[in-house]
Structure 1
């Protein structure tokens, strides 16, 4: 792949990953802060609502105002004013009595606390609901006082039109600021870490693309190389015919036969290339049908038995599979032809080939064995790759292009099966096909 294109694609992956991490961190931070704020003020809001519903507490505050006695604390069951109905501490809670025109009536009862509330104004729009208030401190203009407020309408007794319940939340607000700062710092640190992770992920994402590109290049180069040879032979044969126009067809039968032979080889190669291309693009559709394995194997093996007998080779058929299978008969036939053809090519006279078929562990197990030359471990790792040939000179002599096993592997994979190779002791090779019954 072009280096510039590769670099641009990698940068694209990098920025996409960075943007994704930013989005995730922002969303996570927003949700976390919302949950923290909701839980931090939940108890305070509940306490204010309970105070507004406590008629005895309200009556006591009105009595304190009427008598002008801020120390009045006569409550039943020895319940003091610094305790709420739920037992929570009310030290930071004030009850404000408002007149109709928005004046605080219980200034004297509030005492020193009133200095913090001089800038407080009555809000008649948000009655019977919790709201957040921020006031500037009269003693320190830079300091802000935070409150949660709940206001209800009164019965106009002694000019009291509204009753407001306030809870100071400066401690909670300070804690929330600390949490927010910590959260933001953590998000920034982890975002910086994510940049490094994004760079690594973008590099990893490019690897399969580059591998695929390299395989495509190799495929095109190999296909071009394999096609070049038969085309050159055909061209040479035809040119020879033009140099001897007076000769008869019989006299030129040898170059004509050679050209026809190479044409057939090239046609076979193009068919194999087309099969691989369709498989890569998921266009190689399987046409499955119910097949009797025993009859299928028996019919397929017969011509190979005859060929083996003609070449003084032993062909042993162990055909035991007797359960119906749903397969693409044409494609599985193609796979077995590839394996049996290879077995015949690489088996010498007097040696044997075994085709075994049986049902094992809910699978149709097919093995093609021959006691010809073994395959070393390095070649086993690459033997199913396209255009790979264990012995290139020998493969050319036998007419192979190194595509048969690659095609067989893809067909078996599409059947959700497995094709593998192993040694056959003491000498030889076993190709095993395992197709699931379901």
Structure 2
């Protein structure tokens, strides 16, 4: 069987590899000039770093299993357990211990009072006494947290996570997207704090994310190398407008969402995407050796609207990953800042934001090198209305001929932990197509 795959992101690479292992001829067509999708390297003073996704969630085990198959077992690494911080209107505060997506496990959580004050601690204590049905009809995540805890917990703890990690304000986020089944568990356990404790107890042991020594781009390079070893052909700069432009094939897998430029699902569209600009800075700043803000900060919405910080998040990359700390050298540090508005993402703004967020004066003379990357990300599956859009997409996909399948973040869900199993499954299913 000859299979054409549209897109050389991880979904396309995983499907190509599995199909080639099964003995099929595979050709991958990619619009960009390189594979990897949201995983891409950048170079800072000769050192390669990730400018896109830098880690994978360990849930399910599928990604780690693939890493092992690719011969990178010894290269699996975990981040330092330094904790993360929040930031609002000039104040940085350590995120409480034991929480889940910003939700605290209880009023005695370590660091809670320092983050939200006595008023916030009282709100968390009070939440455990509320009727479990309060907030159960919440239209969005903000309504649920507001009903259970009030504004302070919402804005100081939860909003920074949804904005920094999911590029969504809590008002735009589905409750079940962050915590699937949370309303049922709320009725069972009686409080959100109890739900958090239960889920933390059942979580995968160890760090929730892992990476590959040298960067996730090494994982992509290993995938591509294995595909090429198995005979997969790659064509870059290949922009399609119609499925009939595919090279001669018996089956096809499409990994990119339908768009006005590539309307292969008729009138179905994936919805509005998200722009995010990442700015990476290499700094000569020995003052950062103390890792003053752990592995980084998530920025809460400004209560005054006057805060000059424009970044939505900062990762202290050399604090987070020991291998990169060693490679960067004494006194040098790499930080990555992300921006919802690319117009805000100048190196000057990033340097000023890093100074404010890290609580450490930084000037242009300390900036050794910088790199930028604008990402056009698919619509967040967690956004309100996304479930209905996804259902329409799935209906449209079901109407395609059986020898044409769709995979990728836009239909599988966010992250490699969702994408990799789906790609393997669809590749396997094509075996049974007549």
**Structure ranking higher on relative contact order (CA contacts 8 Å, 6+ apart):** 2
| TM-score, with length taken from structure 1 | 0.17
Q: Which structure: larger Rg?
A: 1
Richer in helix (by share)? 1
